[in-house]
Structure 1
């Protein structure tokens, strides 16, 4: 016992010691994934259990409903028969007979018995029909005649019911309903069902008659569909059995009062057994139709579902546990091997349970630090010279008088194959190596070294490769391979880039973007391959960062730097955007800008500098809007200069578009929040006056001042403060707006249009039009 306790203590200590290891992190991740199918199985089990239970309940209720409909239809038939019997001429006429029966009365009794036999034969659901005439104290059945004392000896509501209670029952003024009664049969009382209904006399204050229909109780449940091991019975309001299937029950397992609803289901325990009872209520008699099933039979299908669910969960645990263990070992072995290799080569002992990545970083840092100390001069000069040579080789800046093969031999570079390609790797995010408290320069060097070694190691599985740092964020890898088809070359280089990016991302959380050139033949093709890789890397501004960009995807046209559909941002589009922003229509402005970008940038291949031009053109349009909507005395006007600065810092079209949308929101919000500053009764009247008299060549500030009984300087100053622009500019813009409509229509010459909008001198019209629109009226008509 003590040894077992010590063994568990050691195991728990090891487990706590391991909690910092990547092994424990992976194990928790795999176990979390393993719990997903188990949770799904539990949810499916609950849903399936509810469905099975609902189907069982529906089947039971369907059986009870069919039984209720069958029995109630028989009861309705009896009620209809009672009406027919009460309307029988001979039966109704005998009500007036008294106790002294005449010969004609005896003959009528004979005829009534014949009629009763016909009624009984027509309905096999009946055991007998009795008619009790109160006036003559006569009870007529199909085979005999008796008085009420004889009827008491034959039929009672209860076995020990006194005679006076039976007489009081028949003396009621209104009798109609079903009763559980007992009938005498071979000196024994047998329970059965009786339907009683009185027949009133047509003569005032004369006693009437009572019709008694004895129902064959054995046929009530004759057609009931009883499930296996189930029981169906009928219970009245006094908890008496009307009828039942199977064994005869001595007392009800379920009381009438326990079934408060019209229909439902209960689970009860009786005589040491658990039963599930489904019930419904007759709309005619008010009796309860009950079906009981043993609980184990009722839950049989549910138990099967439960067993299947448990089996599936166990299977998930067994199979998933095995797969989890296999994957954990398989994925951990490379890290473990790398740790062991570093431990052996670097001379560091790895503390089991510590974080492998931290150890890897420390081991690499320490190892290279030692190597730098041991071979400082040689490695420093050799690596620097070699990197410098590779950089010059990529840029085509080699000395022409030194043969390349001699330079390769001097720097221990081997290029035995005929094909060359270049892979550029750009660092988008430094991941674990971005730590403020540590030396950033050292971390970047370490990351560059790690990336260079990984890409060389991955590439050298099939080809020769040499990596070199170009700047703080860019590395290049020269790949020497066999000349192959473009498809094979693309797949091989893409695999090298993707595997490198995946390894660096998984182990250092560093995001890279890769650009791959096409293949070139010969050493002098390295420069061309580098230029292609640079062009592909520049295209990241369109496709975004974090992926692999092939130069072959960009070279579909002979002229890569020309967009296939041309540059689309006409003057009309700019004017539409200005109007939308000036009116504060944010949604329309965003949709319109998105459409412009869609027409240009999403057409591939698309030159990156053209995308920049488009975004800057759109931002320049917003700069124009800022000047037009600026309101004096309102300091919350968006800063266009800051927006341009933020835009220049963006590196992808997506980021540029986001900055552009932010600027749209600020401008439209500014317009919508300051509409009250732009709306003033006097300003509205001035604007209306200008819109009415803009065709008048004498319209100027002085004319407007006279019209409103104000000095020209005051009107001009007030308009500038409230409208945000000078009154003269507003007059010119109103005239030019009409002039542009007339120019587009093409019905008038430029001189005629000049006169129609209030300019007497066509040269003045040309000058003002070009000032506000940037082009001459004639050019505007050509563009439109």
Structure 2
């Protein structure tokens, strides 16, 4: 069932519902990644630009330093002296004046001034001859002669020597060299003095350390000609390869090259190019963190959503599949398969509704016929018990109120010959007018036709304990008004007779017989209006024991309805003792007829297996017809009690056997989730309502409670003796949902299944 089309359609719907917000979340994720990346790039560019500004400021200070040297008086005096003697004092004063410049800028920690006229190099701490200075401080790529020619012997105008390998007192380093000839307006090939500032690469890179330390990438500074000023974190060949790569655009501020984000800025002052390479994974660290959390949360949510979708799809598809199986079982499969299950269901349900409406319409059309048939069976005494009468009345939609009242017959007078079609049509119209007149008078009665010229009327008491005299007066008054109304309106003359009060629904036929006798008496005596049965004379010389009374007595005893049987016997005795004056011979014949009824009853199959049947027959035969009727009635009562007890015991045995069958079937099928009272009723071939009432009557509990008890008993055994999980046990004892199983178990046992298992283990 879980792989059915309905299940798949439900699951696909839930998956689509999950995917739609996931797509929105993915778009939000891409946006957040893009924003995070942009922010990281922007921060890196800003940081590089700030480092550039600091470096340019420091270089401006270096340039300012040379300008201060150019206006220094002591230095100008030394540059202009042409004497061969050395001005030691002037040199000392000059060294004292320029010594303080290097204390304010770390770029000026290593500088010297070359005086051409003295062939002397002045440093903040000492003075050297060029060859001596070269011994301690020299470029690896320049010899002494090249150094003196290119650095000391040329005129320089704010010239910077690119990054070069340099030895300072035996220590290897890399430096850039700032060179400025003095005075500033020197235009010859040689100048009187040259100020040279040695800037260590480490000092330059320290200004960019925030980028390098933070991201662990590389930094490269080059001049306008592409010569390296400073480089860290990479190699010169790699920088040359990147610069020559056609895929690399040096004009872009930021771009990805390989696995690095390359940020490029260019100085407007000196044309230097500042580049920083930041590894992609470091730059995207925050973005990757967002990515990881997003994937984790989204994946977990999708997984949970998928599990929930599976559960819901199964839960929602199960009842539909059950309904489909019932539909297909009942209606079968058409030759052409439906497009889908929902079309199949909707088509069949629509067809069922249409047929149900047609059936309802047909039942409404047939309802008058059903009511008429019920009333005819009621007055003829065909029902064996009160319960049977009530069930038939409910089916006919008839309210019998308290079950007591009076039966009467109304006859249309003036139609002696009823053999012509015209007369019969006129009588039909007269009966309809008579019923309509009762409705117009507001009388709530039940009516049915009796022959062509008679209508049977049943008045049911609406009060629990009505006054008999007042009720008879009301009926008499109603019938007088009816007779007057139909005569004045339609010129119809009626004659009516009513029987005595019936106190039980099984006595309606007796009251009807009395009404028939009263009507016959009124017609015979030519009495007008309404006649009650007790108004007739008791001159009858024959006993009253009609065939239908005998049949009803036999039927009620066979059904085990003792009280109804007693009422029939009472009615027969009352009719013959109070309504008639019987001779002794008639009395003997009446008793003989009643004894014959019981003997015929004892020969039927229902009593042939009774062990004491012969004793009962002997008791019937021994009833003396000369005894008083009260004594005879008492003996008949005792015999009826014994016979009804035999029927009751048979019913009880059959019921006990049926209850046993139900319990055995339940114990066998308790693990089936489809087990219901309807299934049990099908198994024992009895109506569902009958089974429910019978089980409750014999066991004291409802079947549903019994089924829960059986399942919980099995669950207790499994919890004690097996290693199955609670969910497995729930399915094994007939529950679709483990939640329903846990709730039922706790309601019955007071604790949850897991706690119960733990208590057993402890």
Q: TM-score, normalised by structure 2?
A: 0.41
Query: Which of structures 1 and 2 has the bigger CA Rg?
Result: 2
Q: TM-score, normalised by structure 1?
A: 0.40
